[in-house]
Amino acid sequence: MAAEPLTAPNPLASTDEILAEDGESLPKALDSVCGGRNATTIISSKAFGTHGVRITTGVCSPPESESTSDSNSVDLEARQASCRTAPNNCIQRFGTMFQGNGWVNKCGAQCDSSCYPGSNGPDPNHCQFIFNSMFAEQPQLFTLEPNNFLLLTYRSCGTGIQNQIASGPDGCSTKMIYDYSDWAAIGKYLAWNCQAPQGARGGRCVGRTGLYQGNIPDYYVQ
């Protein structure tokens, strides 16, 4: 499940000097999403599930891409009819929540993993603490607006996901629906297989293709 090594961002860690709304420090792991903190706008940072785990939400600067919108005088109904669908199984596995709201289903979607070269990565036991909380979370489904990210942190470990779905034809959704169990399973693989013995300090799993623009993956987990 390994691919070519990625250029490593800053190591995932737990906190820095910036304070969240409740007085807790924002996670240092923010430096590894969105291409760095300067490309990040924080929405919220608060407790998540098991005591000690935090969830930070925010917005990344959108990726550069060429517009695929139909510029001809085709009516909106016809353009919406051409919207592609992601062949994944959020609704079948987790029920009808969000059905009909135009979310792009990515549950079960395949991604390609790579390890960040280096050492002194997060303690995988800290990561496992996060994943246990994710597996137990109810409801399992969550949604992400375009360019938004979620970041879960505990002590030395951080795991994040970003919706990178690039713009499609006019009227086609770029909102993403995903589940905590799939995210946790990917994160668990990376946490335990991208460690010092592998010459690594964590990793990332990037969606294999883009729904509307094939050269821009729809999402990544790290």
Q: For position 121, what pLDDT does the model report?
A: 87
Neighbours of 72 (CB within 10 A): 7
Look at 163 and 21; give whichever has higher pLDDT: 163
pLDDT band at 173 (very low <50, low <70, confident <90, very high): confident
Q: For position 86, what pLDDT does the model report?
A: 63
Backbone angles phi, psi at 50, to 5 degrees: -60, 140
Look at 95 and 79; give whichever has higher pLDDT: 95
Enumerate residues 6+ apart whose C-beta is below 8 A from 191.
Answer: 122, 124, 127, 128, 131, 157, 159, 202
Domain boundaries in the chain? 28-61+79-221
Q: For position 24, what pLDDT does the model report?
A: 61
Task: Tell me 206's DSSP state.
Answer: E
Mean pLDDT of all residues belonging to the chain: 77
Query: Which residues pair with residue 25 across a beta bridge?
Result: 19
Average pLDDT over residues 170-190: 91
84-114 in b/e form (b: 16+ CB < 10 A) is eebebebbeebeeebeeeebbbbbebebebb
Look at 85 and 90; give whichever has higher pLDDT: 90
Out of 6-10, 86-90, 196-200, least confident range: 6-10
Look at 16 and 192; give whichever has higher pLDDT: 192
Helix spans in 10-156 (H) = 76-81, 90-94, 124-136
| CA-based radius of gyration for the chain | 18
One-letter amino acid at 125 equals N
Angle, helices 180-193 vs 124-136, to 10°: value is 170
Backbone angles phi, psi at 216, to 5 degrees: -120, 105
Asked if residue 82 has pLDDT above 70, the reply is: no
Question: In angstroms, rounded to a whole number, what is the distance separating the alpha carbons of residues 56 and 29?
Answer: 10
Average pLDDT over residues 118-144: 93
DSSP assignment of 112-141 equals EEEEEESS----HHHHHHHHHHHHH-SS-E
3-state secondary structure of 83: coil
Question: In angstroms, rounded to a whole number, what is the distance separating the alpha carbons of residues 57 and 31?
Answer: 13
Percentage of the chain beyond pLDDT 90 is 45
